[in-house]
Structure 1
Amino acid sequence: MLEASSGVIEAGVQSSQERNEVLAVTALLASLKDVRVATAFFRRRAMLNLLQETPLFQELTRDIVEQAEQRGEQRGEQRGRIVGRLQLLQRLFEHKFGPLPEELQESLEAIADVAELDRLALILIDAPDVETFKSQVQPIA
């Protein structure tokens, strides 16, 4: 059916840009039924580049890229908050009790929750000794 539709489009649409856009949209619609047929159609006609040049494809691609960038930025910001909290905990611990034991360092580094790191910072401030603080840190599973 895709081949038949493309024949009608090629015969009826004079502008090559418009024809390519209509063919691309037709193939995209066909992909809803069978993506392999649509993919083969694009490859056989060397239309992948043409598809990429259509305004629809460019807008969709731009949206996808923006969303991916936002997710990446959010992950980076979250990771930055975690690293900052870990550094603060380490400095506070070393200021109060001396060097941070490696086992405790590893347990703290396994925590990926900012709220939990904040909770531990407050506990560290009030902890009278290392053991009191250690008892509040979950060991690595």
Structure 2
Amino acid sequence: MAYNSRGDDLDLQKLFADLVRCETRLYNALNERLRSEHGMATSQFEFLRFLREHSGARVADLAAEFAIGAGATSKGVDRLERQGWIVRQINPADRRSSLLALTDEGRRRVEAAERTVTACLSELIEDTLGTRSVADALGLLRSALEQHRIGIPTG
């Protein structure tokens, strides 16, 4: 997939399309693997991983990190809490917000899922790309994901 549409200029629209499609397909494939092997979604893994590295973070911190709304973040946190993977603790500096922390079960889950994520991404990215330029590599990766129908939404 060439990116040069006007001489040496990079076709940014094509690059953007490839980036978005690669991200979507990789996310969907990872989501499918995590659900089947660990009973969690990619978004849950991402939240747990962030909280492992940032114990005591607030819902607002998660929302800022993942560039999503506070309402959606709060709902995701509620689901993790119901699963017993995180706990909310009173924020002594601001009693209107809670501090979030992994439970022992949450820590075990994220560590087990991390091995799956690494293996999955290695299969999908590393085995495909080799030592190509970023633009060529992303085009090749997108083609491979599409050819093998990886990460196609199921619903």
| Pair in the same fold by TM > 0.5 | no
Higher helix share: 1
Report the structure, 1 or 2, having the larger strand content.
Answer: 2
> How high is the TM-score relative to the length of structure 1?
0.29
TM-score normalized by the length of structure 2: 0.27
Larger radius of gyration: 1
Between the two structures, name the one with larger relative contact order (CA 8 Å, sep ≥ 6).
Answer: 2
